Structure 1
């Protein structure tokens, strides 16, 4: 199974908090890695920046979106708990949680409006569904470097 995208991680992430206890980000990452039966190779796969693993980044974005929708809240550094809103969502027993689901929460829509200028909302819409913002930036950077390298080769080749 490929590494799940951040939207596939949202509902399992919320379920991690269903016990009402405080959880660390690393603990949730480990729980989700087991739930999705990720291999060691998948868990070691790095983003192009080599600063973070793909899976950790995706769990981080899922956590950020859940927090922005006020479904979980930070109690201290890297420690989160569920909110009353999360209990309500889990009681609905949704089959999945994606950005469209979170759009019903004013806190989340406010976050999304501040985050993205209108003119970029329509561009590369497919990335929004499958990749984290960090992954989109990393890929754009890699594409730019490749393009510049090709331009330089053409410039110096007689």
Structure 2
């Protein structure tokens, strides 16, 4: 099942505290996972950045909102206890969300005059049902997707020959060709035999990857027939490794055919979306615009200090 949002964790968290008394943050993971019938893979799901577990983070934010709204006490860092106000409102669980919303809005003026500051973001977060990290990653992903379109539009404004050269540069940046000098070769346009480029995998050229690059409109589709022709071109070139790269997409028939070759010939299909993603991830023709550094408490450092 989908991971519960942070606001969906509120009542189960309060119920656990009401039953068990004081609990540490990490002690919520197992009982909540059992309550929502989550698999180990779901519990261990990481953010796209690899920095932190999604489920654990949602528990942390649910606890934070409950604490900020005065329903839980936090006697020490990472330790929570339900108070009398929390116990009282738990008798009417349908009121908890609206109560938290009201309390966060009440706190708004207290947190400063800047209406676009942290307090405003907290209020928005409780309404959106996403944690701040999830909002950040969603914004980042939205920026990336917009940039992917810009990458493809830019490629389409260039010549087919420039696209073939770009594809070779990308594959070499991805590690194909290794340390071989001048590993990438663009074939002559007038006599390419259906092969647009070649990458030598070793110095003597015993291993070769043959490439076909099609610069089509993004809403176009490459069918099975084009892939079959490419397989024929590979046979003539006595090669069993091919990469078909396009700015458009592939039909289901093309994908199924490429997957059915059973290793006699291996064809990798890279559509426009994946192409743009590779260009972005490997930094080909890209530059870093801004770096955002997000920090968190070093648990080992703070836990080594003596508690009051």
Normalised to the residue count of structure 1, the TM-score between the two structures is 0.79
Cα gap change, 1:126 to 1:132, in 2 (>3 Å): closer
Higher strand fraction (1 or 2): 2
Give the total of aligned pairs.
149
Cα RMSD of the aligned pairs, angstroms, is 2.7
Matched-pair contact (CA < 8 Å) for 1:20–1:82: no
After superposition, give the CA deviation of every residue in 1:47-94 in whole Å (9 maximum; x if it has no partner): 22221122112111111100100111211121111122112112x332
Q: Unmatched 5+ residue regions in structure 1? A: none
After superposition, give the CA deviation of every residue in 1:32-54 in whole Å (9 maximum; x if it has no partner): 11111101111121122221122
Cα gap change, 1:110 to 1:101, in 2 (>3 Å): closer
Q: Is residue 105 of structure 2 the alignment partner of residue 109 of structure 1?
A: yes
Cα gap change, 1:15 to 1:141, in 2 (>3 Å): same
Matched-pair contact (CA < 8 Å) for 2:7–2:126: no
Q: Unmatched 5+ residue regions in structure 2? A: 159-308
Q: CA deviation at 1:111?
A: 4.0
**Aligned 1:63-82 pairs, distance under 5 A:** 63-82=63-82
Q: Is residue 44 of structure 2 the alignment partner of residue 41 of structure 1?
A: no
**Aligned 1:1-150 pairs, distance under 5 A:** 1-19=1-19, 21-90=21-90, 92-95=91-94, 97-98=96-97, 100-105=98-103, 108-111=104-107, 114=111, 117=116, 128-150=127-149
Cα gap change, 1:141 to 1:68, in 2 (>3 Å): same
Matched-pair contact (CA < 8 Å) for 2:70–2:85: yes
Aligned equivalent of 1:152: 151
Matched-pair contact (CA < 8 Å) for 2:125–2:131: no
CA distance in 1, matches of 2:108, 2:41: 33
Q: Please say which structure displays the higher CA radius of gyration.
A: 2
Matched-pair contact (CA < 8 Å) for 1:9–1:59: yes
Matched-pair contact (CA < 8 Å) for 1:127–1:136: no
Matched-pair contact (CA < 8 Å) for 1:71–1:86: yes
